[in-house]
Chain A
Amino acid sequence: AQTVTQSQPEMSVQEAETVTLSCTYDTSESDYYLFWYKQPPSRQMILVIRQEAYKQQNATENRFSVNFQKAAKSFSLKISDSQLGDAAMYFCAYRSLPYSGGGADGLTFGKGTHLIIQP
């Protein structure tokens, strides 16, 4: 079974600064998918960014980018020019290839990092 570890329960950053959230995972699979989701106080889960493991290029979405290190099984999220609206819980998640068996298409989540933006 796969596991996802987020070692930072809480992070704080000044508005307009850059912050990096850490995520490591454990898997014996050679191909898979990785995601970062955001959960603001409204509880709605929002996809921030996604990465296919076979792609060497790091994914980027506007102010959000990842540092994907496949050999190290690391998938960190960098938020540039932090904004007050970025304050939320951030969850790193893993998904196996389709049809790998039992729940493979579901997501395995880390415990989350609570991001605080200081004005």
Chain B
Amino acid sequence: SAVISQKPSRDICQRGTSLTIQCQVDSQVTMMFWYRQQPGQSLTLIATANQGSEATYESGFVIDKFPISRPNLTFSTLTVSNMSPEDSSIYLCSVIPGLAGVNEQFFGPGTRLTVL
């Protein structure tokens, strides 16, 4: 299993600013992901955070808007840049201990972001 913590748990930000969300895992994991959950919606994969290389972004998400760092196997950050009210969402970090496949994917508690 994996225990994931995220900081901050919530924040209220002004339009045009940036926020960096931290994700810390209690064990080394290969697979780490960032998801967005817009109000009342499902989870959408933003990107796969790759250790030591650039993240792999899903369609509709770009590095300039959502830069991701993954300096080691237990930590990652997601930055939401130049925020607008449409970025108001819950952002979740997620990991798979070991290989993917049928293995359980664990989720952090999420960061609730409100952009005014």
Instruction: Give chain A's interface residues, CB within 8 Å of chain B.
Output: 1, 33, 35, 43-45, 47, 50, 52, 91, 95, 97-98, 102-112
Contacts and interface: CB of A to CB of B under 8 A. Distances in A.
Interface string B89-116: 0101010100111101101011000000
A25 to B, nearest CB: 13
A44 B100 contact: no
B31 interface: yes
Interface residues of B, number: 26
A47 B105 CA distance: 8
A110 B102 contact: no
Contact of A97 (B41, B94, B101, B107): B101
A105 B102 contact: no
A111 B42 contact: yes
A108 B63 CA distance: 20
Nearest to A100: B100
B109 A43 contact: yes
Given A109-B44, A112-B42, A95 B107 contact: no
Nearest to B58: A103
A56 to B, nearest CB: 15
Contacts of B33: 105-106
Contacts, number: 59
A107 B45 contact: yes
A95 B100 CA distance: 9
Interface in B23-48: 31, 33, 35, 41-45, 47-48
B102 A102 contact: no
B31 to A, nearest CB: 6
B102 A91 contact: no
Contact of A33 (B47, B56, B102, B107): B102
Contacts of B35: 106
A106 B48 contact: yes
Nearest to B34: A106
B41 A111 contact: yes
A17 B56 CA distance: 44
